[in-house]
Amino acid sequence: MLNQALDKLNEYFGYSSFRPGQEEVINHILHKNNTLAIMPTGGGKSLCYQIPSLVLDGTAIIISPLISLMKDQVDALQTVGVSATYINSSLHTSEQQSRLNGMVDGQYKILYVAPERFESVSFIRSIEKIDISLIAFDEAHCVSQWGHDFRPSYRSVVPTIQKLQMSPPLIALTATATKEVINDLKRLLKVETNHTVVTGFARENLSFKIIKGTDKKDYMLNYIRKNIDESGIIYTPTRKITDQIHSFLISKGIQAGRYHAGLTEEERQEAQVTFASDDTKVMVATNAFGMGIDKSNVRFVIHHSLPMNIESYYQEAGRAGRDGVDSDCHLLYSAQDIQLQKFLIENSSLDEELKRNEYNKLQSMITYCHTSQCLQSYILEYFGDEQEFSECGNCSNCLDDGYKEDMTKEAQMILSCVKRMGERFGVTLTAKVLKGSKSQKIIDFNFHHLSTYGLLKQYTEKEIIHIINYLVADSYLAITDAQFPVLKLTPRSINILKDQEKVWMKVRDEKREVSSSYSEELFQILRGLRKSIASDHGLPPYLVFSDATLKDMARR
């Protein structure tokens, strides 16, 4: 049967081989096993159920959370000659009925529906009459309340299926690989561990970068102008910011589109189509844009602010470079962004336990912005990706050859201060004590009498906060969670206090990226050279020359 799968891959899609994980997933499905496929965005999840749908008899039902995607997927399938269709609320009732009839007549190999469809009696009656080859849950993290896009209507699908007098294999596909989501899906869909396929999450063609302390608008404008022929997405946390950035770019002569849930269906459709066809190069959007967009030549994804968690960040950033070509993922970070995310969590409809979970995830996202570790490896560790991966050599931390200072003394002062304050307070108040602030809260708590009061007064409060966050990122300090963040000492703290370990870090951010002017063309040529030198010698590229050095060369 696997031969048949390969034939279909050739015949319909024109590909000669499977990507990592695809074959294994398809194999499990063809043997009628419930299967869980966890693959990164762009990893090729759709083919995992489309190929078995073509090999097996009957109709495959694909449950997909976004109506806008169904049409794209179905169009693409019809173009290559697969009989596919979708039924959703965007269609007139008579059209829905006629497609249902078509399904009962066995006209379709693949049918896309939204989870809500399983609440419709006429739909259930119809599928009872047909031969179902498989049922796939695309974007399956929406089934789990631990996922980042929980859709309650997904919950009722499984019990409904179980009541049917048949047991087609169930397939869950997602790019979210946290333990909670995986366990939840395995339990809900009754997937055995050896039918769970997780493929590597490393995206070697993506260059991750965190940018702090710059004017965000200037940065974006500059970046876009330097990459004017490239296609990219700018993600913002709110509709309002989307609108602001969009008008700003337009006013500067950039052809940008925008997308968020506050626009009409037609406006969104229009924005999506012009972006897909490269008529607009830059899309400014909220996270409403993109789940499953199939545009492979996105060269950059810029996050205007701190995302809510690593899951959403990696999924959104992962929309860059799906064709395997080198692409940039830049995150513009400022500490104020944290407040907005906290506000969004606090005002969400989640119950207390789930809120706490969101706060923990937010804390990991904040830590990402302060770590000195390779950013790609940080993300892989977060997802528990155990495949061998040391450093990408291409992220802002790997490439950072900025001047680092010995900050051990400062770290010792911070740790002592946390201890003296009884390990009961957060980052901001601790920073204020060290700065020697005269704020009311300090007086109220009598902190101006502490021996650590004002010890770091030569630094700005912002810099002290940065050092503290850095200590947290490298586990010299722990933070309870992001809701009521309290600093605590860790086993590693002792090493520093006893002078057994040193802390090296960059305290003052340079604005190298914004002010630099160099020939981008020459820079790219040098980068290509570096890559081939590196691979000849089996070295990571950053060991040959750093990006900063290359830019220096490109200046002459």
Binding site for ligand ADP (CB under 6 A): 15, 18-19, 22, 39, 41-47, 292, 294, 296, 322
Closest approach of ligand ADP to the CB of residue 523, in Å: 29
Q: Which of 375, 415, 428, 400 is nearest to 501 (CA)?
A: 415
**Residue 392: contacted member of ligand ADP, Mg ion, Zn ion, none (CB under 5 to 8 Å, by partner type):** Zn ion
Alpha-carbon torsion angle 498, 501, 502, 505, nearest 10: -120
Decide which of Zn ion, ligand ADP, Mg ion, none touches 374; Cβ closer than 5 to 8 Å per partner kind: Zn ion
CA nearest to 287, candidates 237, 344, 345: 237
For residue 131, the minimal CB distance to ligand ADP (Å) is 25
The site that binds Zn ion (CB under 5 A) totals a number of residues, namely 6
Cβ closest to Mg ion, residue 80 vs residue 539: 80
Q: Is residue 374 near Zn ion by the rule CB under 5 A?
A: yes
Closest approach, Cβ 24 to ligand ADP, in A, equals 13
Structure tokens at 467: 């050092």
Binder of residue 21, out of Zn ion, Mg ion, ligand ADP, none (CB less than 5 to 8 A by kind) = none
- Residue 142 interface partner, choices ligand ADP, Zn ion, Mg ion, none, CB cut-off 5-8 Å depending on type: none
CB nearer ligand ADP, residue 41 or residue 242: 41
68/357 with CB nearer ligand ADP: 68
**Burial grade of 169 (CB within 10 A; 0-12, 13-18, 19 or more):** buried
From the CB of 319, what's the least distance to ligand ADP, in Å?
9
Q: Looking at beta carbons only, is 307 or 393 nearer to Zn ion? A: 393
Name the residue with tokens 């965000």: 216
Looking at 36, 395, 411, 455, which residue binds Zn ion (CB under 5 A)? 395
- Identify the residue whose tokens are 């506000």: 343
C-alpha 257, offset from chain centre: 21
Count of alpha carbons within 13 Å of 348, Cβ hemisphere only?
20
Q: Which residues pair with 62 in a beta bridge?
A: 112, 136
Q: Which are the contacts of 552, defined by CB distance < 8 A and separation ≥ 6?
A: 518
The contact mask relative to Zn ion for 222-261 (x = CB under 5 A, - = no) is ----------------------------------------
The bridge status of strand 59-63 relative to strand 206-212 is: unpaired
Coil, strand, or helix at residue 293?
A: coil
Q: How far is CA 446 from CA 165, 443, 449, 453, in A?
A: 71, 5, 6, 10
Structure tokens belonging to residue 154: 């997904």
* Nearest to Mg ion of 40, 292 (CB atom): 292
**Counting contacts by CB under 5 A, is residue 292 touching Mg ion?**
yes
Residue placing its CB nearer to Zn ion in the complex, 348 or 535: 535
Backbone angles phi, psi at 136, to 5 degrees: -110, 140
- Binding partner of residue 398 among Mg ion, ligand ADP, Zn ion, none, CB under 5 to 8 Å per kind? Zn ion
User: What is the number of the residue whose Cβ is closest to ligand ADP?
Assistant: 44
Residue 398 interacts with Zn ion (CB under 5 A)? Answer: yes
- Nearer of residues 206 and 468 to ligand ADP, judged by Cβ: 206
318 near Mg ion, judged by CB under 5 A? no
Q: How far is the CB of 553 from ligand ADP (least distance, A)?
A: 36
Question: Cα 349 to chain center, whole Å?
Answer: 22
Q: How far is the CB of 82 from ligand ADP (least distance, A)?
A: 13
Closest to Zn ion by CB, 210 vs 395, is: 395
Token pair recorded at residue 321: 């470079």
Report the C-alpha gap between 447 and 468 in whole angstroms. Answer: 18
For residue 6, the minimal CB distance to ligand ADP (Å) is 10
**What b/e string do you get for 336-345 counting C-beta neighbours within 10 Å, with b at 16 or more?**
ebbeebbeeb
Q: Which does 286 bind (CB under 5 to 8 A by kind): ligand ADP, Mg ion, Zn ion, none?
A: none
The binder of 255, among Mg ion, Zn ion, ligand ADP, none, by C-beta within 5 to 8 A per type, is none
260-276: b (≥16 Cβ within 10 Å) or e: beebeeeebeebbeebe
Nearest distance from residue 519's CB to ligand ADP, in Å? 33
Nearest residue (CB) to Zn ion, 280 versus 376 = 376
| Contacts of residue 457, Cβ cutoff 8 Å, sequence gap at least 6 | 434, 435, 436
Distance in Å, CB of 394 to Zn ion, minimum = 6
Residue 42 vs 237, nearer CB to ligand ADP: 42
Considering only residues 36 to 55 of the shown chain, the ones binding Mg ion according to CB under 5 A are 45
Pairing of strands 504-505, 405-406: antiparallel
Where in 15-131 does DSSP place strands (E)? Answer: 35-38, 59-63, 84-87, 110-113
Task: From residue 160, give the alpha-carbon distance in Å to each of 32, 153, 283, 547.
Answer: 19, 11, 39, 55
Q: Which residues bind Mg ion (CB under 5 A)?
A: 45, 292
User: What does the binding site for Zn ion look like in residue numbers (CB under 5 A)?
Assistant: 374, 376, 391-392, 395, 398
